A and B are shown apart, each in its own frame.
Chain A
């Protein structure tokens, strides 16, 4: 077995972006993932906002990388077809105390290099979001905040990595590490050797770090539960409605989703189990309570889905980025609540750190073009609505899941793609099948059959 130049552990947004960036150099790279699919950890279950970083802590690594990531990912999305909607956000103050903090937030945004915030009075707040509950006193508009499809982010980055020659090793969990020249990673599927190792293991990033002999941080999974409301509610939420951040955390927001729904959440609760993404009765009740105050009319709509994501929270609010040049090891851990946005900037930063530590390799001249991901965004054309496409390939006119208007052609394409789905969940993230209001009442049978016909992968 020959050693890889670099092994990246963890195929979430951060690992996929880093592997892709490394593969832009003359290096042999592997991307190792414990699960059977890319982007199946925290990167799949979040609020899916492309953050400007206006409210980050000025001077922190997070502030720098979110700001840079916002630009990088925004541009990459335009190239690859990752759907992004530039909806803007509106921070709403409900108490005088919150009203008084708005100017400070504006100043903080400016300190973070974001100068486009605008203070609004109550009238302007209700003009922007007429369905807000009573009692809003003032607001701060953040026009740059945007929504995107986080599944497409990871899929695009990981597909790009693979077409650039990265070996994607799925279902391979790193258990122990023997640092050396090369370093040996002991995995659930045998040993793997690497000259350099990058830890992008999300909720497991502290454990991988410990396997290298460090005791730098501990990950505490901080659960965030969310409710997804029916598409009929979307016109009520034209912008991301943010609460004023307090010492207790970012609070509960109401946001449109790129798929055309409305999301209410997240909660914030420290847990112990790093795999437990269950929702709780208390969490759902809390969200309904918050929703009732924020936008009472929202609660008249049907709930389409409920889910929970786990933030990789640590002792520090900042990213746990640590370079160990001697071990030729880089830790990109504890990327808590902004890692989708920052992913490409984290990757860029990682390359600089690695270069500084001696990982030298020329840039590749023969890079393939970035991939095109299928559009899952409701605001953009999907195959069912494209007569020319359907005329050329009737499978795009054959609707499999009518709630989400997913066609047989899209399912077929996903099953034949560079990184095909391993199961129904993976197919859902690539096409939206069964994710609509009926949650598979009509199409579970057909979709399951299509997956089974495609055989094990």
Chain B
């Protein structure tokens, strides 16, 4: 079989240079670091991403003390709140640049139980102060420009996901223009035959159960490719995020790829809406519109029935999915 995975590109496992028949990229997504968020100030201890925090606490039993400011109000932010409490620290504030993020508060991960923490919307973190250890964070009110310094000993930077696309990029896979993760079709095929991508690499970021569903979903396509040489590279009509959305996945519509796991298109809202009204355009024309009986909220994946794309005609140009 050989596949397109080995020769011709840089997608090799070193050392030894295995030449697999198929490669599934499932490198996940990470939270942006402090520098990538342009948060100025002192280089101090006590600043973590949720990922780093949870390793320290859950895998290495680290105890933490003091007040914590959690940057972000996504599902994972509430997970950080719980971890902080468990480690002995006191989360005092969650900040978000969105207006009223608490309205679409947590439903999973026991987040409700963590309420009681103040949430500050329309707030940007400008700087972290301290010498040696954090002593406070400097916040800017996005509407008034007013600045305050909230004293704390810990800062947790949550959400703000970026797919770990180093391998995908080095293999020159076609990428989503926004996330830069590899673009896939409903069968999780990338632009290169024999190379597949699944999990948070292609939808930064959903919960673990959804990533696992991807895993079993991609297995069928991999089997067809490896055993029967069936299937090709992902292709078809690009499906792009329009107004109100940051990304959508899968990013290609190809009828031969079947439907995605659970028959759902995943999307990342950039605005909040109590009722998610999804509009589909192709070639400048509206081809479908659907009101979903659930809200859209930044920081949480919006699940859209794949059937909203039923009226799209492959060959008539790129498709845009937006939130109204």
* In contact, A441 and B35 (Cβ under 8 angstroms): no
Inside 8 A of A278's CB, which chain B residues have their CB? 40-43, 127, 129
B interface, by DSSP: helix, strand, loop or mixed?
mixed
One digit per residue, 1 when the CB lies within 8 angstroms of any chain A CB and 0 when it does not, for chain B 281-305 equals 0000000000000000000000000
Task: Please report the C-alpha to C-alpha distance between residue A45 and residue B162 in the assembled complex, in whole angstroms.
Answer: 27
Q: Which of B233-257 contact A (CB under 8 A)?
A: none
Q: Is B164 an interface residue (CB 8 A)?
A: yes
A397 to chain B, nearest CB (A): 8
Inside 8 A of A448's CB, which chain B residues have their CB? 56, 60, 62
Which of A232, A276, A437, A444 lies in contact with B42, CB distance below 8 A? A276
Which of B14, B59, B164 lies in contact with A438, CB distance below 8 A? B164
* In contact, B14 and A441 (Cβ under 8 angstroms): no
* In contact, B40 and A284 (Cβ under 8 angstroms): yes
Q: Is B33 an interface residue (CB 8 A)?
A: yes
* In contact, B33 and A228 (Cβ under 8 angstroms): no
Inside 8 A of A403's CB, which chain B residues have their CB? 166
* In contact, B14 and A306 (Cβ under 8 angstroms): no
Q: Is A323 an interface residue (CB 8 A)?
A: no
Inside 8 A of B42's CB, which chain A residues have their CB? 276-278
One digit per residue, 1 when the CB lies within 8 angstroms of any chain A CB and 0 when it does not, for chain B 30-60 equals 1111111010111100001101100110011
Q: Is B15 an interface residue (CB 8 A)?
A: yes
* In contact, B33 and A281 (Cβ under 8 angstroms): no
* In contact, A303 and B41 (Cβ under 8 angstroms): no
Q: Is B16 an interface residue (CB 8 A)?
A: yes
Task: Please report the C-alpha to C-alpha distance between residue A150 and residue B208 in the assembled complex, in whole angstroms.
Answer: 42
Task: Please report the C-alpha to C-alpha distance between residue A386 and residue B14 in the assembled complex, in whole angstroms.
Answer: 9
Q: Is A134 an interface residue (CB 8 A)?
A: no
Q: Is B126 an interface residue (CB 8 A)?
A: yes
* In contact, B41 and A279 (Cβ under 8 angstroms): yes
Q: Which of B15-39 contact A (CB under 8 A)?
A: 15-16, 30-36, 38
B319 to chain A, nearest CB (A): 25
Q: Is B207 an interface residue (CB 8 A)?
A: no
* In contact, A439 and B15 (Cβ under 8 angstroms): no
A372 to chain B, nearest CB (A): 22
* In contact, B35 and A228 (Cβ under 8 angstroms): yes
Looking at B15, B31, B42, B169, which has the most chain A CB atoms within 10 Å of its CB? B15
Q: Is B307 an interface residue (CB 8 A)?
A: no
Using known A-B contacts A281-B127, A438-B30, A438-B164, determine if residue A445 contacts B60 with beta carbons closer than 8 Å: yes
Q: Is A275 an interface residue (CB 8 A)?
A: yes
Task: Please report the C-alpha to C-alpha distance between residue A303 and residue B162 in the assembled complex, in whole angstroms.
Answer: 12
Inside 8 A of B32's CB, which chain A residues have their CB? 302
Which of B14, B49, B164 lies in contact with A440, CB distance below 8 A? B49
* In contact, B15 and A385 (Cβ under 8 angstroms): yes
Q: Is A355 an interface residue (CB 8 A)?
A: no
One digit per residue, 1 when the CB lies within 8 angstroms of any chain A CB and 0 when it does not, for chain B 159-170 equals 000101010010
Looking at A276, A277, A384, A437, which has the most chain B CB atoms within 10 Å of its CB? A437
Interface size class of B (residues with CB under 8 A): 20 to 34
B152 to chain A, nearest CB (A): 17
Inside 8 A of A440's CB, which chain B residues have their CB? 33, 48-49, 52
Task: Please report the C-alpha to C-alpha distance between residue A278 and residue B59 in the assembled complex, in whole angstroms.
Answer: 31
- Closest A residue by C-beta to B15: A387
Q: Is A442 an interface residue (CB 8 A)?
A: yes
* In contact, A441 and B31 (Cβ under 8 angstroms): yes
Q: Is A305 an interface residue (CB 8 A)?
A: yes
One digit per residue, 1 when the CB lies within 8 angstroms of any chain A CB and 0 when it does not, for chain B 111-141 equals 0000000000000001101010000000000
Inside 8 A of B52's CB, which chain A residues have their CB? 440-441, 444-445
B28 to chain A, nearest CB (A): 9
Q: Which of A419-457 contact B (CB under 8 A)?
A: 437-442, 444-446, 448-449
* In contact, A303 and B56 (Cβ under 8 angstroms): no
Using known A-B contacts A276-B42, A277-B42, A278-B41, determine if residue A445 contacts B36 with beta carbons closer than 8 Å: no
A182 to chain B, nearest CB (A): 35
Q: Is A307 an interface residue (CB 8 A)?
A: yes
* In contact, A305 and B40 (Cβ under 8 angstroms): no
* In contact, A441 and B33 (Cβ under 8 angstroms): yes
Inside 8 A of B30's CB, which chain A residues have their CB? 437-438, 441-442
Looking at A307, A384, A448, which has the most chain B CB atoms within 10 Å of its CB? A448
Q: Which of B186-230 contact A (CB under 8 A)?
A: none
* In contact, A284 and B38 (Cβ under 8 angstroms): yes
Using known A-B contacts A275-B131, A281-B126, A445-B52, determine if residue A438 contacts B43 with beta carbons closer than 8 Å: no
Q: Is A178 an interface residue (CB 8 A)?
A: no
- Closest B residue by C-beta to A387: B15
Q: Is A280 an interface residue (CB 8 A)?
A: yes
Q: Is A304 an interface residue (CB 8 A)?
A: yes
A-B contact pairs, 11 of them (CB 8 A): A275-B131, A278-B42, A284-B38, A303-B38, A304-B35, A305-B35, A306-B34, A387-B16, A441-B31, A444-B56, A445-B62
Q: A302-B32, A306-B34, A441-B30 are in contact. List 19 more A-B contacts (CB 8 A).
A: A227-B35, A277-B42, A278-B43, A280-B127, A283-B40, A303-B38, A306-B38, A307-B43, A384-B14, A387-B16, A437-B30, A440-B49, A441-B33, A441-B52, A442-B55, A444-B56, A445-B56, A445-B62, A448-B62
The 5 closest A-B pairs by CB, nearest first: A445-B55, A439-B33, A444-B52, A387-B15, A441-B51
